[in-house]
Amino acid sequence: MTYCVGMQLNAGLIFMSDTRTNAGVDNISTFRKMYSWEVPGERVITVMAAGNLATTQSVISQLEERTKALQDRRPSILEAPSMFQVANIIGETLRETIRSGALAGANAESQFGATLIVGGQIAGQKMCMFLIYPEGNFIEATTDTPFFQSGETKYGRPILVRAYEPGMSFAEAAKLLMVSFDSTLKANLSVGLPFDFQIVRKDECRIAHNARIEADDPYFHEISRGWGTALKQAFRSLPEYDLSL
Amino acid sequence: MTYCVGMQLNAGLIFMSDTRTNAGVDNISTFRKMYSWEVPGERVITVMAAGNLATTQSVISQLEERTKALQDRRPSILEAPSMFQVANIIGETLRETIRSGALAGANAESQFGATLIVGGQIAGQKMCMFLIYPEGNFIEATTDTPFFQSGETKYGRPILVRAYEPGMSFAEAAKLLMVSFDSTLKANLSVGLPFDFQIVRKDECRIAHNARIEADDPYFHEISRGWGTALKQAFRSLPEYDLSL
- Chain mean pLDDT for chain A: 93
CB atoms A243 and B219 under 8 Å: no
CB atoms A175 and B235 under 8 Å: yes
Mean pLDDT value of segment A217-234 = 95
Instruction: Give CA B238 to chain center in angstroms.
Output: 34
Q: Which has the minimum average pLDDT: A22-26, A177-181, B103-107, B241-245?
A: B103-107
What are the φ and ψ backbone dihedral angles of B182, each rounded to 5 degrees? -65, -40
Instruction: Summarize pLDDT for A168-225 with one digit per residue, the tens.
Output: 999 999 999 999 999 999 989 999 999 999 999 999 999 999 999 999 999 999 999 9
- Chain B residues with CB under 8 Å of A154 CB are 154-155, 187
- CB distance from B234 to chain A under 8 Å? yes
Mean pLDDT value of segment A19-46 = 93
Whether residue B150 contacts residue B50, with contact meaning beta carbons closer than 8 Å, is answered with: yes
Q: What is the pLDDT of residue A105?
A: 65
CB atoms B175 and A238 under 8 Å: yes
CB atoms A159 and B231 under 8 Å: yes
Q: What is the pLDDT of residue B70?
A: 87
Mean pLDDT value of segment A130-140 = 96
Q: What is the per-residue DSSP string for A207-233?
A: --EEEEE-TT-HHHHHHHHHHHHHHHH
Q: What is the pLDDT of residue A109?
A: 63
Instruction: Summarize pLDDT for B112-132 with one digit per residue, the tens.
Output: 899 999 999 999 999 999 999
Indicate whether A80 pLDDT > 60.
yes
Residue A64 burial (CB < 10 Å; 0-12/13-18/19+)? middle
Range from A118-127, B70-79, B110-119 that averages highest in pLDDT: A118-127
Indicate whether A1 pLDDT > 90.
no
Query: How many Å apart are CA B195 and CA B4, to the nearest integer?
Result: 9
Query: How many Å apart are CA B1 and CA B33, to the nearest integer?
Result: 11
CB atoms B179 and A223 under 8 Å: no
For the whole model, what pTM was predicted?
0.90
Which domains can be identified in chain B, with CATH numbers? 3-234 (3.60.20.10)
Instruction: Summarize pLDDT for B16-45 with one digit per residue, the tens.
Output: 999 999 888 888 899 999 999 999 999 999
| SS3 category, B128 | strand
Report the chain B residue with the minimal C-alpha distance to residue A188: B154
Alpha-carbon distance values, A70 to A35, A74, A75 (Å)? 18, 9, 11
Mutate to test the interface with B, among A177, A235, A244 (most CBs of B within 10 A): A235
Query: How many Å apart are CA B150 and CA B7, to the nearest integer?
Result: 12
In this prediction, residue B164 has a pLDDT band, given cuts at 50, 70 and 90, of: very high
- Chain mean pLDDT for chain B: 93
Indicate whether B105 pLDDT > 70.
no
Q: What is the pLDDT of residue B157?
A: 94
How far is the alpha carbon of B70 from chain A, nearest alpha carbon, in Å? 33
**Closest to B117 in 3D by CA, of B73, B145, B80, B149:** B149
Whether ipTM > 0.90 holds is no
Long-range contact list for B229-232, CB < 8 A, 24+ apart? B230/A234, B230/A235, B230/A237, B230/A238, B231/A159, B231/A162, B231/A163, B231/A231, B231/A234, B232/A162, B232/A163
CB atoms A239 and B219 under 8 Å: yes
Indicate whether B141 pLDDT > 80.
yes
Q: What is the pLDDT of residue A204?
A: 97
How far is the alpha carbon of A83 from chain B, nearest alpha carbon, in Å? 27
Indicate whether A101 pLDDT > 60.
yes
